[in-house]
Structure 1
Amino acid sequence: MDITQDQTLDITSFFCPMTFVHTRLALDRMTSGEKLVLILNDGDARRNVAASAQALGHVIEADESLPGNRARLVIRK
């Protein structure tokens, strides 16, 4: 998938709720329309970050599984 990114954030070393705390801090520094590419652990972190971002009005443009039990989310602010 070819996605223009404005910022990439690897949060694989964090666990909930810190995964969304770091995501939220990054989104707060971005302007409307910019994209945040997240690399995170698959499972709870993936589901919770996506749901929390959507609840705040952001758009999930991509949600892909990666090797090694990881995932890639693309969030448009």
Structure 2
Amino acid sequence: MSDHAIDITGDICPFTFVKTKLLVERMRVGETATVRLKGLEPLKNVPRSLTEHGQAILSLEPENGEGPDGVHRLILRKMT
């Protein structure tokens, strides 16, 4: 279970990362968050951008066996 959660499945880039970054900024170092995202572009860009900003990706898996453009659940840990 994560400390925080956000659902960005209805958003498009660049808002997907902007909303995720705002969540991370409110978190304390060591806390975790679950991010629900959908689509190929967020699936590629959100994890990449988070790691570039020093955060740890703990897991990234599709929900309910959905394909690459379906809903995914990303779990991150705030590192900085």
Specify if TM > 0.5.
Answer: yes
**Deviation above 3 Å: which 4+ runs of structure 1?**
none
In structure 1, list runs of 5 or more residues that go unmatched: none
> Does residue 60 of the first structure (1) align with residue 57 of the second (2)?
yes
Query: TM (normalized to structure 2)?
Result: 0.88
- Matched residues, number: 74
| AA matched with 1:42 | G
Of residues 28, 31, 38, the one that matches 1:41 is 38
Which residue number in structure 2 is paired with residue 72 of structure 1? Answer: 73
1:10-49 CA-to-partner distances (Å, cap 9, x unmatched) read: 0011000000000000000000000010001031101100
Distance in 1 (alpha carbons) for counterparts of 2:40 and 2:62: 10
Q: Is the 8 A contact 1:42 1:65 kept in 2?
A: no
| AA matched with 1:71 | H
Which residue number in structure 2 is paired with residue 29 of structure 1? Answer: 26
Distance in 1 (alpha carbons) for counterparts of 2:72 and 2:62: 4
Query: TM (normalized to structure 1)?
Result: 0.91
Q: How big is the alpha-carbon RMSD for the aligned residues of Structure 1 and Structure 2?
A: 1.0
Distance in 1 (alpha carbons) for counterparts of 2:44 and 2:6: 17
